[in-house]
Amino acid sequence: MPMRVGFVQYRMKLLQEELEKIIAMLPQLGVRRAILLNPLYPGTVEPDTPLKLVMIMEDDRPFVRRPDFFYSHLSPSVAVDFYPYTPEEFDELGATDSNLWRALKMGEVVYDA
pTM flag (> 0.95):
no
Q: Which domains does the chain have, with CATH numbers?
A: 7-112 (3.30.460)
26-49: pLDDT as tens digits: 999 999 999 999 887 777 788 888
**Contact by Cβ (8 Å): 53, 83:** yes
Q: Is the pLDDT of residue 1 over 70?
A: no
Question: What is the rounded average pLDDT of the residues 92-106?
Answer: 80
